Amino acid sequence: MKILLTHGYFLAEDEKEKAIMRPYVPLGILYISAWLEQHGYDNEVFDSTFSSFDLLCARLIDQQPQVIGIYTNLMTKLNVLRIIQFVKANEQLQHTKIILGGPEVRNHAQKFLEHGADYIVFGEGEQTMLELVQFIDGTYEGTINDIEGVSYLDAEKGLLQNKERTKLKSIDALPFPNRHKVDLQLYFDAWKGRHGTSTISVSTMRGCPYSCKWCSRAVYGQSYRRRSPNKVADEIAHIKANYAVDSIWFVDDVFTVSHQWLEKFTEEMTNRNLVMPYECISRADRMNEEVIINLKKSGCFRVWIGAESGSQKVIDLMDRRVEVEQVQQMIQLARKHGLQAGTFIMVGYPGETKEDIYATVQHLKNADPDLFTITVAYPIKGTPLYAEVEDRFVTSLPWESSTDRDIDFTRTYNRKYYDYAIQMINYEVNYHKALKKPVANLFKLPMLKLRSTLAKGHMWMEERRRIS
């Protein structure tokens, strides 16, 4: 049986990412690939990142797979629809069953199916994909209704959604993702060319026990399962033995959620001489000095600590469950111990006012992270934020030509205001940073102040526009 796994992300079409140049391998399909292989199903992976839509189409015609499995997230949705359209329109591919998985499919199952997908896999994908492949192959002992985690269209009954997939009890049962199915060197070269060091993604946990309102938990739900520290160390040993890569990016939601796990992981890494630089994401309330010391010992060079706002009011509105002072302290403490600290900021959250935005500026000045990113909040379908603002969407966009990132809703200010707010935060915080070395930044300082003042002026004007 010919199975092709792919994803609809084409770096060449993504101007923003080309500027950033931090491409990551599609780990989800590499896990699916390994699981299928372990259970007797050979499969191929078409990694679209460094390829093109045309080459993918050529591969489909050449291979004529019985099954194409596609990873789908909110950014790749439109390309996934293009791929479906191509398969459906091509005479040689009429036997090809299209299976979609990934974070975007659970809450749009009906639409994807109406647009040509045959099956939607929601939740953890490995076992569901295996059973679906067996079903298509005619070796599954049951009916389609027995396969947990699947949605499909029934000619008479319309959308049918099977039971939720029972999650794997122990994720130690998972084989390592099939990294050899993609050309990792392309990723390493892209990273090295732009940033001087290469990186590889590793996953140690599935699910997150928190409930931040804007965050999608469509795949693993509000759960927490972790691989044993020694299994993770085995994977790192395997990576070190097989790839010349400089660092690891842990894709986990909250790397330090369990202090006991981190302690054991640190022991494994140091005792087995595996320490290598890594980057991870965490939460300030799951950090303290001991945790930071263990991060450092085990190789962490950069930790991302989210708060999203410097206003406790907004943090509470987001149900982020963290104190703004905690975030500042942990960023400072991480830096004191020689780690780089990054943080994420979001503006335009419902209920946020200009006072809150200025509190965020102050927060960044106090915390003084090495890096920070700012986005305008947008609602992902299936999240509490989406439900909260759904009746305030500015326009109703056609599903097949837009993504959730395009959604705008009525906020405290207009959309332009937030673009200026982002500029203002960047200039204001960078001015504050530059002030620490006034002589070296003699020419930079007045420019930054001027730009920040201009951005504030624009914000003021946009605010008037709202009032008038």
Interface residues toward ligand SF4, by CB under 6 A: 208, 210-212, 215, 253-254, 283
Q: Which stretch binds ligand B12 (CB under 6 A): 182-190, 214-222, 295-303, 442-450?
A: 214-222
Query: How wide is the angle at C-alpha 422 spanned by C-alphas 418 and 426, nearest 5°?
Result: 165
Q: Which member of 75, 275, 445, 447 binds ligand B12 (CB under 6 A)?
A: 75
Any contact of residue 144 with ligand B12 (CB under 6 A)? Answer: no
Q: Which member of 78, 251, 397, 445 binds ligand B12 (CB under 6 A)?
A: 251
Closer CB to ligand B12, residue 162 or residue 366? 162
Residue 102, binding choice from ligand SF4, ligand B12, none, Cβ under 5 to 8 Å by partner class = ligand B12
Q: Which member of 43, 51, 73, 151 binds ligand B12 (CB under 6 A)?
A: 73
Find out whether 407 and 421 touch, Cβ atoms under 8 Å: no
Q: How far is the CB of 256 from ligand SF4 (least distance, A)?
A: 11
Any contact of residue 26 with ligand B12 (CB under 6 A)? Answer: yes
DSSP assigned state of 302: E
Write each residue from 77 to 116 as x if it is in contact with ligand B12 (CB under 6 A), else as -, in one continuous string: ----------------------x-xxxx------------
* The pair of three-digit structure tokens given for residue 460, joined into one six-digit string: 């003021």
Cα separation, 403 vs 377, whole angstroms = 14
One-character DSSP codes across 94-148: TTPEEEEESTTSGGGHHHHHHTT-SEEE-SS-HHHHHHHHHHHHT--SS-GGGST
Cα separation, 207 vs 275, whole angstroms = 25
Question: Which single residue brings its beta carbon nearest to ligand B12?
Answer: 101
Contacts to ligand B12 from residues 346-365, by CB under 6 A: none
Q: How far is the CB of 421 from ligand SF4 (least distance, A)?
A: 21
Residue 210, binding choice from ligand B12, ligand SF4, none, Cβ under 5 to 8 Å by partner class = ligand SF4
One-character DSSP codes across 401-464: G--GGG--B--SS-HHHHHHHHHHHHHHHHHHHHTTSTTTTTTHHHHHHHHHHHHHHHHHHHHH
Residue 279, binding choice from ligand B12, ligand SF4, none, Cβ under 5 to 8 Å by partner class = none
Cα separation, 294 vs 300, whole angstroms = 9
Contacts to ligand B12 from residues 153-212, by CB under 6 A: 201, 203
Closer CB to ligand B12, residue 17 or residue 114? 17
Q: How far is the CB of 319 from ligand SF4 (least distance, A)?
A: 8
Q: Which member of 9, 304, 386, 431 binds ligand B12 (CB under 6 A)?
A: 9
Question: Using CB atoms within 10 A of its CB, is residue 244 exposed (0-12), middle (13-18) or buried (19+)?
Answer: exposed
Q: How far is the CB of 331 from ligand B12 (least distance, A)?
A: 19
Q: How far is the CB of 152 from ligand B12 (least distance, A)?
A: 13
Any contact of residue 71 with ligand B12 (CB under 6 A)? Answer: yes
Alpha helices in 222-308 (DSSP H): 229-242, 259-271, 289-298
Cα separation, 216 vs 23, whole angstroms = 21
Any contact of residue 344 with ligand B12 (CB under 6 A)? Answer: no
Strand partners, 393: 409
> What is Dmax (Cα atoms) for the chain?
75
Write each residue from 373 to 412 as x if it is in contact with ligand B12 (CB under 6 A), else as -, in one continuous string: -------x------------------------x-------
DSSP assigned state of 379: P
Any contact of residue 43 with ligand B12 (CB under 6 A)? Answer: no
Any contact of residue 342 with ligand B12 (CB under 6 A)? Answer: no
Q: Which helix (H) or strand (E) holds 158?
A: strand 158-161
Q: How far is the CB of 83 from ligand B12 (least distance, A)?
A: 12
Any contact of residue 413 with ligand B12 (CB under 6 A)? Answer: no
Q: Is 273 left (phi over 0), alpha (psi -120 to 50) or beta?
A: left
Any contact of residue 452 with ligand B12 (CB under 6 A)? Answer: no
Find out whether 280 and 207 touch, Cβ atoms under 8 Å: no
DSSP assigned state of 51: S
Closer CB to ligand B12, residue 118 or residue 356? 118
Residue 9, binding choice from ligand SF4, ligand B12, none, Cβ under 5 to 8 Å by partner class = ligand B12
Q: How many residues bind ligand B12 (CB under 6 A)?
A: 35
Any contact of residue 133 with ligand B12 (CB under 6 A)? Answer: no
Find out whether 45 and 29 touch, Cβ atoms under 8 Å: yes
DSSP assigned state of 78: H
- The end-to-end CA distance of the chain, in Å, is 65
Any contact of residue 126 with ligand B12 (CB under 6 A)? Answer: yes
Helix (H, G, I), strand (E, B) or coil at 189: helix
Enumerate binding residues for ligand B12 (CB under 6 A). 9, 24, 26-29, 31-32, 69-71, 73-76, 99, 101-104, 121, 124-126, 129, 201, 203, 215-216, 218-219, 251, 253, 380, 405
